[in-house]
Amino acid sequence: MKTLLKNAHILTMDDQYTEYVSGWLLTENGCVAALGEGDAPQADEIIDCGGGILLPGFVNLHCHASMIPFRTMGDDCPDRLRRFLFPLEQEAWTRELTYLGARFAIAEMLLSGITTFADMYYYEAEVARACVEMGMRGYLGETVICQRAPGSDTPEDALALSESLLQAYADSEWVRPIIAPHGTTTVSAEMLQKCQALAEKYDTLLTLHACEMDDEMRFFAERGQTPVSYLDSLGLCGPRLLAVHCIHLTDADIACLARRGARIAHCPGSNVKAGKGVAPMRDAARAGIPFGFGTDGASSGNTLSLFDQMRLFAVCQKTKYHDRSLFPAREIVRAATRGGAEALGMERTGVLRPGFRADLALVGTDRPALFPLYDPYSALVYGACAADVRLVMTAGVVRVRDGRLSQTDVPALRQALEKAMPPFRAAAEKYADTLKAKEA
Ligand SMILES: [Zn+2]
């Protein structure tokens, strides 16, 4: 089946940032077959893009997709991770909520143009099931944490779940299992090394929260270390490492991550909403560390849209370094698409080029905020939002058409999730005082 997308402003995101202003793109067998300007080839289906911006799908480098039921809960509450997130997860989180939350989150991500995401949470096999059902690419890791957690009493249990996921999805089109220890202080050194050994055994990525929390930074400072120097001493800093957040990096940390070939999942929205700080991404980028953007879970970043992350990234970095010229818009769009694909080590993804995967998003430019359009990259970073996404394809299959999911709809997903949420809501009531507390 050949599908022709015509009348599009195509941003290929290749090395030269090639654009086709009145472009067409042909997909066949899940890939881009051809693209260009002028006379378009024949196809079985023709889709008019209405002059919108067609670009590679966004890659979300860090999420806890299933955490939809936590959205807006205690958003302004300090230390909420230990005060109620962990306890509530232990008490009321279920396999069913993971599955239904993941389906809802995948819908939200597809509708915002995301075609691949990296995820860590509990019952991750359910997230994998949702990815396959909905045609979303997931790099998925069962959270390994040294405390009792949903689905696993011990970190060894979680590691066993990680390994069964690796075996179950060894050759999947949609799911690439990864290893996901929770963080630098929530997982013991011994378990971190076991995680690394498993990542090496199965030749996959390892992702964890690092250089994020104030108490984490204090913990290592008291020992004359940084989280990065600690991870390096354990052998975790290497090309398999996708370090999440990395807000508090020293120059030595940046040099270490660059030397070891590690990557960063930068989550500007989650970082600044929690008041944690602005990561030194100019310096990390200059050192050559591959990076892309993560939304974090709905509990931390609220929206699962990389449009929000791109704009926050731009304003935070320009402000931090007092430099308007820093990170031009097209570099930011690159980080959100191709940069994310590179950080995950994805092949044939992140660029619109013949032979590459037809994972792509069409952003409509009808809204007033998107006129006039001198610079499409700038429009994407500073003017566009998830609601502008008109069409999304993964592997050449239309997942979003005219701004709506083509296989299911949001009301149905929402209804299913709401039906499963009452016990969770009841458990959350116990933390009502905490949720409303403004002071520690
Ligand atoms: Zn996270």
CA 234 from chain centre, in angstroms, equals 26
Neighbours of ion ligand 1 (CB under 5 A): 296
> What is the helix, strand, coil percentage profile of the chain, to 5?
40, 25, 35
pLDDT band at 440; cut points 50, 70, 90: very low
Name the residue type at position 350: G
CA of 26 to the centre of ligand 1 (A): 37
CA of 416 to the centre of ligand 1 (A): 25
Cα(379) to ligand 1 centroid in Å equals: 28
How many Å lie between the centroid of ligand 1 and the Cα of residue 209?
A: 6
Average pLDDT over residues 216-222: 96
Percent of the chain's residues with pLDDT above 70: 98
Largest CA distance in the chain: 66
Residues 6+ apart with CB under 8 A from 269: 295, 296, 301, 302, 303, 308, 309, 312
Report which of 207, 28, 211 is spatially closest to residue 124, judged by C-alpha positions. Answer: 207
CA–CA dist 219, 225 (Å, integer)? 9
The tens digit of pLDDT for each residue in 35-55 reads: 999 999 999 999 999 999 999
Mean of the per-residue pLDDT values of the chain: 96
Ligand 1 mean position to 407 CA, how many Å? Answer: 29
Q: Measure 343 CA to ligand 1 centroid, in angstroms.
A: 17
Tell me how far the alpha carbon of residue 298 lies from the centroid of ligand 1, in angstroms: 10
Q: Is the pLDDT of residue 436 over 70?
A: no
Domains present along the chain, CATH in parentheses: 2-56+356-405 (2.30.40.10), 58-343 (3.20.20.140)
- Write down the pLDDT at residue 78: 82
Residues with Cβ within 8 Å of residue 181, at least 6 apart in sequence: 143, 144, 145, 187, 191, 192, 195, 206, 208
Number of H helices, E strands in the chain: 18, 18
The string of pLDDT tens digits covering residues 289-311 is 999 999 999 988 899 999 999 99
In the chain, % of residues over pLDDT 90: 92
